[in-house]
Structure 1
Amino acid sequence: MRVMVIVKATADSEAGLIPSSERLEAMGQFNEELAKAGIMRDGAGLKPSKLGKRIGFDGTSRIVMDGPFAETKELIAGYWLWEVKDIAEAVAWVKRCPNPMPGPSEIEIRPLYEMEDFGDAATEQSLAPHERAREILAGRDGAQ
């Protein structure tokens, strides 16, 4: 099962507060444990939303909105992509995680959709471009 583990933003992360060397080291050690266990597939911290953009969609219309974005508690400060046997394993790993922020913080775990979750919509034709994209990405990973 693939999950996205989402580190929720705080006032500190939105202010661009850089973590202490101790916090960086603790998080690095946790990431190393995840990698050695074969859990972690990817992960990164995100810069504050004031540096970001949102694109609104309405039919064929596209509207670009500049950050910062309101409701800090709804924003993301970082993420991991993990491969776990079930959601309980992901919860167990998150409970071992050092607090990613200097004060109170939250981490959310969300399962990713797999192609089999799409049922009848997952036809050979609709899946073909997804498979080609995976092949392209696999080629890039191998070329690095």
Structure 2
Amino acid sequence: MARYMLIMRVSPEAEAMMAEQEIDFDQIIESMGRFNEELMKAGVLLAGEGLTGPDEGFVVDFDADPPVVTDGPYTEAKELFNGFWILDVSSNEEAKRWALKVPLGPGVKLEVRRVSETEEFPMDNPWVRKEIQWKAELAEKLAAQARADADRFAQS
């Protein structure tokens, strides 16, 4: 199995077109929800999140020393990252099949990249070994948080 990240990139023209068409946000949430449900039922979804608008973000530019932080929005950007999925699939071809199913429209692109696996790095490196331990600790923390969220949901 291999992990792939699907990165949603939206152009300002696509955002303007959606605003002009007055597309109901609930419709968007429903279509994305159905897609996410399909990914979960197939057992390939590891993570997926939408991102807030660029006005809540910032860019750190390492061309200077010290690095320069610039608050959003970013007028120079031709496309903005609006969300992502991380899938655990058997191949590049399977990642491509899922990417083609994402319910997106004109002016939106989906960049698909394979996520490097820890095993691709030298196992004798102490920082690689530390990362393996950190990932195990993070998995435990996320599982505990998911259980707490499920308990809160069940009580409401």
Same fold (TM over 0.5): yes
For residues 82 and 47 of structure 1, what CA distance do their matches in structure 2 show?
Answer: 21
After TM superposition, the score normalised by the length of structure 2 is 0.77
Structure 2: runs of 5 or more not aligned: 146-156
**Are residue 128 (structure 1) and residue 129 (structure 2) matched?**
yes
How far 1:123 moved relative to its partner?
A: 2.2
Contact 1:53 / 1:66 at 8 angstroms: preserved in 2?
yes
Q: Note the C-alpha offset of 1:61.
A: 2.1
**Structure 2 residue identity aligned to 1:21:** D
Whether 1:71 and 2:72 are equivalent positions in the alignment is no
Q: What's the offset of the Cα at 1:24?
A: 1.3
Q: Counterpart of 2:116 in 1: which secondary structure?
A: coil
Aligned twin of 1:139: 140
Tell me, yes or no, if the aligned pair for 1:13 and 1:48 is still in contact at 8 Å. no
Q: Distance in 1 between matches of 2:46 and 2:24?
A: 23
**Structure 1 CA distance for aligned equivalents of residues 58 and 64 of structure 2:** 19
TM-score by length of 1: 0.83
- Aligned-partner Cα distance in 1 for 2:77–2:132: 37
CA–CA separation in structure 2 for the residues paired with 1:34 and 1:131: 26
**Letter paired with 2:91:** D
Quick check: 1:20 aligned with 2:25? yes
Q: Deviations over 1:55-112 (max 9, x none)?
A: 2235862321111122232x3111001101011101111112211x5x4311110001
User: What one-letter code is carried by the residue in structure 2 that aligns with 1:82?
Assistant: L
1:54–1:66 CA contact under 8 A, matched in 2: yes
Shifted more, 2-11 versus 123-132: the winner is 123-132
**1:52 positional shift:** 0.4
Question: Is 1:30–2:31 an aligned residue pair?
Answer: no
CA distance change for structure 1 residues 63 and 21 in 2, over 3 Å: closer, same or farther? same
Q: Are 2:27 and 1:54 aligned? A: no
Q: How far apart in 1 are the matches of 2:24 and 2:71? A: 25
Inter-CA distance 45–56: structure 2 relative to 1 (3 Å threshold): same
Number of matched pairs? 138
Larger Rg: 1 or 2?
A: 2
Q: Which amino acid aligns with 2:128?
A: L
Q: Percent identity?
A: 31
Question: Is 2:93 the partner of 1:88?
Answer: yes
Match of residue 112, structure 1, among 91, 110, 115: 115
Gaps of 5+ in 1: none
Say which SS state the counterpart of residue 108 (structure 2) adopts: coil
Aligned residue type for 1:114: E
- For the Cα contact (< 8 Å) 1:13–1:77, is it kept in 2? no
